[in-house]
Amino acid sequence: MKRAAQVARYRLPRLSFLRLAAGLVLADAGFLVPVSTPAYVDEGPSPDLAAWEVFAQILAPAGAPGEPRLEFETWASDDDIYHKSSPRWPEIGARTMPAECRQDYDREAAATAGLPDGACILEDVRRNWAAFRYIVANDLYSRQGLAKAFRQHLKIDLPADSVQVKADWMRIGDIARWFNLEEDDVRRIYYTKIVEQDSARTEYALVSLHLNSKRWKNWL
């Protein structure tokens, strides 16, 4: 799926022309009816509107002095919440130790998609202040806390401004080999970051995002 999406990126002019041509044929045949998506529905902002607003929010520059990262990169990671002796909101400029770049994907599907041998995916999960505060306040970051919540029949209901993001990153060298690109081309096309671990510096590119928001009661 990811490779197909990337391939589509490089075939965009051709695909756009074909879709335009098809659209003109259908329009001439009277098959196309103008459709408008309402910005607001009975429950509030439409899912489309809310999703785009949250998407823009998480990808905005963090804005803090000397902080070149995106907004979601400054939020609490799984490591900040679950893997420390006590949850801790990251300080400005702090670089959370990244998760391991893993290869536990479907190898057969990866080979079919042409993913280079040895390629790995770094998954980074982040939660904003509203979600972090709720988890910490209700002791939902430990087995003991979860057991207590179960005994007390706690109804888990995060605040309406809670946002959770799962980002997948790949090494730019892997992407360059996958799509036969120069690494400078990868830097130009993708948002990248440098990860320092054990005195080694590795550059990663952001390849996918999955977000959840309580802007809708049952989550977006």
Confidence check: pLDDT of 151 > 90? yes
Q: What is the pTM of this model?
A: 0.75
| 120-130 pLDDT per residue, tens | 999 999 999 99
pLDDT value at residue 42: 66
> Mean of the per-residue pLDDT values for the chain?
81
pLDDT value at residue 85: 77
* Amino acid type, 142: S
Higher pLDDT pick, 26 / 189: 189
